[in-house]
Amino acid sequence: MQFQKFPDATYLVPVGKSVKEKVILGLDPGTNIMGYGLIEVRGTKLTLLQYGVIHLSKYEGHELKLKKIFDRVLSLIDEYAPDEVALEAPFFGKNVQSMLKLGRAQGVAMSAALSRDIPIVEYAPKKVKQSVTGNGNASKEQVARMLMTLFTIKELPKLLDATDALAVAVCHHFQKGNAASKSKSWESFLKDNPERLR
């Protein structure tokens, strides 16, 4: 029998066999860089499976970027089989065009999860920071350093979008998945979030 050792894990998982309790995929949507982070939850123990960024600035045209977001999120889902997906909700800024593009990126990431019938949950940026650091106004660096301690990460990543996404997954775990916006399909998502139809 072959075994696969996960980073920072204290156990081996037989290849093709699953002993996971729950896997959470956290996403930090963006149109130039999109962060992702995957954690495994076993009781109270959290294990870092993978985190990183999807580089999108090299693609021309917003439509192609959206397709790459969909494809890459789907490949992460197919590879790690997360039980739930948590996303950081876009913050409201003054630039309407940026907000529109960010909303599309988030929608495409959501549709990738929903196409595999995976429940999705949204968290406001302040909620994520509060959950991870205890301070809703914490900086990206403070969030990253807290996660470095939690997961024994030795080096601060160059792009903090990765740790932002990891923070969303950790926030979801701390919330026990009881957010009001949890949805299992487009129909239930729209029913739970009627304001998103405007």
Nearest to 85 by CA among 34, 15, 31: 34
Beta bridge partners of 139: none
Q: Of 40, 84, 122, 161, which one is the catalytic site residue?
A: 161
Q: Catalytic one among 40, 88, 122, 164?
A: 88
83 a catalytic residue: no
CA 191 to CA 198: how far, in whole Å? 13
Q: Which residues pair with 46 in a beta bridge?
A: 41
Residue 122 is assigned to a ligand binding site = no
Q: Is 28 marked active-site?
A: yes
Helix (H), strand (E), coil (C) string for the chain: CCEEECCCCCCEEECCCCCCCEEEEEEECCCCEEEEEEEEEECCEEEEEEEEEEECCCCCCHHHHHHHHHHHHHHHHHHHCCCEEEEECCCCCCCHHHHHHHHHHHHHHHHHHHCCCCCEEEECHHHHHHHHHCCCCCCHHHHHHHHHHHHCCCCCCCCCHHHHHHHHHHHHHHCCCCCCCCECCHHHHHHHCHHHHC
Catalytic residue, from 28, 40, 122, 164: name it.
28
Answer yes or no: 71 catalytic: no
Annotated catalytic residues are 28, 88, 161
| Binding site listing for Mg(2+) | 28, 88, 161
| Binding site listing | 28, 88, 161
